[in-house]
Amino acid sequence: MSTVTITLPDGSELEVESGATVEDVAYEIGPGLGRDTVAGRVDGELVAKEEPIEADAELQIVTEGSEDYLEVLRHTASHVFAQALQRIHPEAKLAIGPATDEGFYYDVDGVELDQDDLRAIQAEMEAIIEADYDVERVELSREEALEFYEDNPYKQEILEDEAAGEGPISFYRQDDWQDLCKGPHVSSTGEVGAVELLNVSAAYWRGDEDRATLTRVYGTAFPDQDELADYLEKREQAKERDHRRLGTELELFSIPDVTGPGLPLYHPNGKTVLRELESYVTEMNLAEDYDYVETPHLFRTELWKQSGHYDNYVDDMFLLDVNDEEYGLKPMNCPGHAMIFDQTTWSYRDLPERYAEDGKVYRKEQRGELSGLSRVWAFTIDDGHLFVRPDQIEAEVSTIVDMIFDVLSTFDLEAEVALATRPEKSVGSDEIWETAESQLREVLEDLGLEYDLEEGDGAFYGPKIDFAFEDALGRTWDGPTVQLDFNMPERFDLTYTGADNEDHRPVMIHRALYGSYERFFMVLIEHFNGKFPLWLAPEQVRVLPVSDTNLEYARSVAADLEAEGFRVEVEDRDWTVGKKIQQTHEDRVPYMLVLGDNEAEAGTISVRDREERERKDVSFEAFREHLLEERDERRIEPDFLAT
């Protein structure tokens, strides 16, 4: 019998018989671990404990205490949902039901569901959990599987595609119900301690809008009720902070149907925030000697074919015919920057050359995936492209990483770092990719940064360092990135003259400090719950005269602040002071100045902030000086009244 070598997380190795399952290996390590095994990660892929290992592999054993356990439990919860659904609606045809970061979903056909239906299904799910059925892996022949799903075209398609082959097909059975699935799952339905069905929506089969529209039910699951309650509370908080709702209330942006999906309109308030974000990143770029450039929105597709985007991105591009020539809206800014670099003759002494552009790009996302500002058709990248000598890579990437951490700290965001390696669809040789990945890894390790490895998540032209930031509710979002590219310079034949007077190929570094303005703006809206820091706030100070007799003094105070560049409004409507204060709180203005006869006579101000703190008889000069410092230092909270 042949053997395979299993490498464990601590680096130790174990020889086992070829075909031994994940669970077998766990028992080899120790009987306690064998009994506790729920699933495994084989070469990074989450698999069932019954999965045989046929070749040398890296293995992590998943137990109840592992990070992966919740994903396995939620996968089982999706099966509990499907069983409950078919108990109530036997006519329902099941499609797919994976676990997600938030819980699980299941796509179904043949039945229409609403929120009232979900309550009945959830009650049935709870009965299945209470019954604590064993979850068992069983195998059917391909003929048996096709016969089982003879009336279900979705499962038949899965059998023909993902489950294609000659061998038996794995199912998971609980009580008298079973579903096609490769796993993994927990050992019994009772391990799903708490479930909640959240909502129902429509979804296209395989995400293809030209195919069948299915009903998608979202839910979540946890080992116990306390964890579920905590999640539901955070979910309610997230609803309160939803950027789409706040975008309307605070008049930041809108996406009317008439403009087209994923094409936001920025109102004056929203554009004010974006201008401040642009100004901040421009300040950083100029300090690091970036030159600003501008490229058109539209190029002939010859450019995209030369860059490799046409082959790798054509399905996501907006293409149009102009005078019998094919053009494409740009999905990325980098080819245009490469063309600019190519227009000049460069010496090794001239490098690095750094370009920056707040460039609008366009990607044809599926309509079902569009959501507010988080995923749109048109978005703006705070793009930077550097053309460097190979010996300059580490210093330049290190500087970019420092810039990214400066940005995140300015907005009080914590970051998780990951190295994303070569995807399946990519360009360039193995040698180029290995060199690029090793150099980024070296930078991360030299900087002493902890990072995750994201196998296959790199860009098609090179590996990257990704930064995911965590917001006030503990949610993570994709954001800044640094990408190393040896392929674009090759495709555009970019060169510089070296010290040896010979032509050499520069390395191209792609970077974005925000990621995209749209998604970063979305995160900030929700992170701050619409209560932007003073320097970002569309309206920074609102002046509230107690009566019309105080209007002249109010306008004088406002004019003095406006002269310092502050965004100030005078509330001169015929309202009571109480109503003016309430409206200013609802508008989330950082500061309000209440000015009556006493203030006008003494030449002072009464200051309130949006946290409902108040101080009377304040020197206007002291407030003005503080306001300048708070704005120019880009402080997170209005803190004049903090002490």
Residue with tokens 């009317």: 256
Both structure tokens of 15: 């020889």
| Contact (CB, 8 A) for 328 and 319 | yes
Residue with tokens 């061998």: 167
Is 510 known as a binding-site position?
yes
Count of C-beta atoms within a 10 Å radius of residue 37 = 24
Q: Is the dihedral of CA 47, 51, 56, 60 positive or negative?
A: positive
CA distances 52 to 4, 20, 39, 43, 219, Å, are: 11, 5, 12, 13, 31
Kindly provide the residue ranges of all beta strands, DSSP E only, lying in 389-487, ordered along the sequence. Answer: 414-420, 452-454, 464-470, 476-485
| Contact (CB, 8 A) for 65 and 32 | no
- CA angle (210, 379, 297) in 5-degree steps: 90
| Closest-CA residue to 355 (of 364, 363, 346) | 346
Residue with tokens 């529209």: 213
Q: Give the amino acid at 131.
A: A
| Contact (CB, 8 A) for 630 and 602 | no
| Contact (CB, 8 A) for 72 and 95 | no
- Residue 272 phi, psi dihedral angles, 5° rounding: -60, -45
Q: How far apart are the first and last CA of the chain?
A: 75
CA distances 9 to 21, 45, 444, Å, are: 17, 14, 21
- Residue 581 phi, psi dihedral angles, 5° rounding: -65, -45
Is 334 known as a binding-site position?
yes
Q: Give the amino acid at 196.
A: E
Q: Is the dihedral of CA 106, 112, 114, 120 positive or negative?
A: negative
Count of C-beta atoms within a 10 Å radius of residue 81 = 29
Q: Is the dihedral of CA 555, 561, 564, 567 positive or negative?
A: negative
Give the distance, in angstroms, between the CA of residue 139 and the centroid of all CA atoms in the same chain. 38
* Size of the chain in residues: 643
- CA angle (412, 470, 447) in 5-degree steps: 75
CA distances 463 to 25, 115, 399, 482, 513, Å, are: 33, 44, 18, 9, 17
- Residue 18 phi, psi dihedral angles, 5° rounding: -60, 135
Q: Alpha-carbon distance 311 to 327, whole Å?
A: 14
| Contact (CB, 8 A) for 410 and 535 | no
| Closest-CA residue to 452 (of 425, 476, 426) | 476
Q: Alpha-carbon distance 171 to 182, whole Å?
A: 7
Give the distance, in angstroms, between the CA of residue 584 and the centroid of all CA atoms in the same chain. 32
| Closest-CA residue to 446 (of 427, 465, 472, 462) | 465
Helix runs in 132-200, H state only: 142-148, 153-160
Helix runs in 132-263, H state only: 142-148, 153-160, 225-240, 243-249
What is the 3-state secondary structure of 537-569? CCCCEEEEECCHHHHHHHHHHHHHHHHCCCCEE
Annotated binding site for Zn(2+): which residue ranges?
334, 385, 510
Annotated binding site: which residue ranges?
334, 385, 510
